[in-house]
Structure 1
């Protein structure tokens, strides 16, 4: 270990780092608290609120005292939040679903990400934008956008793409929470198939839970399990993204890129520990809430780092891309249900 690294992890070094990041972190946490209060009392998506609130404070990125904390929140706190998602998943939950929903979810993730890359090229957008939006739509919305972005090459364009993706998938997920239960009723789906459709298509976990239990308790249970299976697909997706962007990350990042990110290792370890029943329900709830708070704080930081002016120059193409990916995933899962694949 170099002298710089050892000084960073010494008590004086950690204290100095804490002092440096504290102002920015406090700002991001304050935004998270404010947006959570508004969402809990008046409704609406917390992450979208946090993003928009953060963007109104973009001027703080020009002020030195907050910049280090905003960067810390958008990277370290983000990765902690993604890692803690592992406490929501067990291997038994995956096995209980049966092979049909697993095949449906795997097909949905692979084909939607591929479709995203193809559509992005057709629209004249970058491959990175197509892969990021496709992964977010296919896996778990804003959380996936943050996790996948964390292993992609860092740049101003990439951060802007992440913000656009978070805004898009959060908005589409909120719309889907209202519309998709109506679709399941129109198709006269059973509770099980309705749960598979809801859990296999809606982007964010909170909206999946809301839409599933609107239909029935059974549909809500199935949709939650299917959704958590999609969350588990973060692991192979992140691994593939690391492979795809290994060269460009080495060129753009001064730090050495690990073969396997620590937050992904922590995610897998927590899934395994939770599968063994070693995490009590109280601790699971605590870690789940902590994960949510970390992700909202990270979203606030990303908002602070982004300006409305930069987003305005992007145009309508990313919106079309995300809408097309969402419709594609919906039609794919509906086809799997119709032809009996999801019921295997």
Structure 2
């Protein structure tokens, strides 16, 4: 118990020290680079459309030559680690317990079965393609929960290796691309299957990877579909906490995340996620502040993706081969078919 307390104390001290003015001054060159990349990605996304996170990743890859620069490296690491965890923690401000319970039993059961089975399917597909279980959990969790945000959150508690970092980036590219395609294709599936507006919302919210694309696809059909899809998607986002805790405990028990005595039982940023969700649920966050928090969360994730892009080269992504791409496609097809079958059975 004392070891756990000391781990929490040490971890919180590390997090707060990263925001110390002296540390920020040291990190400023790398942070500035990530900010410039993020601003460029935001401009292109706003002016010409397309996923902001994907642009940030691709622009970051172009600056890989600065990844080992002694001036830029501390700030790049700060953005890819501390800002990543900060962004995930602030995601909790999007979710309330009222939104989740308002769905009723059937959609919640569908969401839970879809999330758990897709994560397990990720492990099965990884084994079939001769990839590691780490990659199966990462890709399955990203597809099952909330796309790029889930990939980043899960990667934060996985063993820190160069291969895992590369696979995380490939997963971000893959789920973002698949989400963008789904935003266009899935409304056509809804029309072809003649789903009513409520069922359509459940289908879209339970299958599309990223929140933004869920909202886009839902409101393409109707306002009611958009609202239902968003709430169902937020229920999936809420699954991020138990999923990451379970994965963290798994690798903590296996001794693959460094010194276990110094590693907190529950990742610090997940406590932040839960606190933000509870604060939002009990209306402790003003509506205006909630919008700001969501913007800060999004910006932190864009900056972290930009920094991760800088740390990775095109050659390293290409070296992963075609199997990871098929893994993501297979897991995406699985969750779509499973949700459609469950919706058919429940109606």
Q: Which residue of 1 aligns with 2:179?
A: 173
Is residue 2:140 matched to residue 1:122? no
Instruction: Tell me whether 233-242 or 248-257 shows the greater mean CA deviation.
Output: 248-257
Q: Which residue of 1 aligns with 2:163?
A: 157
The structure 1 residue matched to 2:294, chosen from 288, 304, 307, is: 288
Deviation, 1:5, is 10
Deviation, 1:195, is 0.3
Q: Which residue of 1 aligns with 2:337?
A: 331
Cα distance change, pair 338–41 in 1 and its aligned pair in 2 (3 A): same
Query: Secondary structure at 1:51's aligned position in 2?
Result: helix
Cα distance change, pair 8–135 in 1 and its aligned pair in 2 (3 A): closer
The structure 1 residue matched to 2:190, chosen from 166, 172, 184, is: 184
The structure 1 residue matched to 2:239, chosen from 229, 233, 236, is: 233
Contact 1:153-1:249 within 8 A present in 2 as well: no
Alignment deviations for residues 241-287 of structure 1 (CA, whole Å, 9 cap, x no partner): 11111145555469821111111001101111111111111011000
Query: Secondary structure at 2:321's aligned position in 1?
Result: coil
Deviation, 1:15, is 3.3
Q: Which residue of 1 aligns with 2:102?
A: 96
Cα distance change, pair 23–249 in 1 and its aligned pair in 2 (3 A): farther
Query: Secondary structure at 1:152's aligned position in 2?
Result: coil
Q: List alignment gaps of at least 5 residues for structure 2.
A: 1-5
Deviation, 1:152, is 0.6
Q: List alignment gaps of at least 5 residues for structure 1.
A: none
The structure 2 residue matched to 1:109, chosen from 100, 111, 115, is: 115
Alignment deviations for residues 133-192 of structure 1 (CA, whole Å, 9 cap, x no partner): 000000000000000000111110110110010011001011001000000000000110
Q: Which residue of 2 aligns with 1:62?
A: 68
Task: Trace 1:244-255 onto structure 2 (pairs within 5 A).
Answer: 244-247=250-253, 250=256, 252=258
Cα distance change, pair 91–310 in 1 and its aligned pair in 2 (3 A): same
RMSD after superposition: 2.1
Is residue 2:328 matched to residue 1:322? yes
Over 2 Å off, 4+ runs: 4-11, 13-16, 247-255
Deviation, 1:126, is 0.7
Deviation, 1:16, is 2.7
Q: How many residues align?
A: 339
Contact 2:89-2:272 within 8 A present in 1 as well: yes
Q: Which residue of 1 aligns with 2:151?
A: 145
For residues 142 and 252 of structure 1, what CA distance do their matches in structure 2 show?
25
For residues 86 and 127 of structure 1, what CA distance do their matches in structure 2 show?
27
Task: Trace 1:257-336 onto structure 2 (pairs within 5 A).
Answer: 257-336=263-342
Query: Secondary structure at 1:153's aligned position in 2?
Result: coil
Q: TM-score, normalised by structure 1?
A: 0.94
For residues 306 and 26 of structure 1, what CA distance do their matches in structure 2 show?
18
For residues 73 and 271 of structure 2, what CA distance do their matches in structure 1 show?
28
For residues 8 and 108 of structure 1, what CA distance do their matches in structure 2 show?
36
Cα distance change, pair 327–222 in 1 and its aligned pair in 2 (3 A): same
Contact 2:248-2:267 within 8 A present in 1 as well: no
Contact 2:89-2:273 within 8 A present in 1 as well: yes
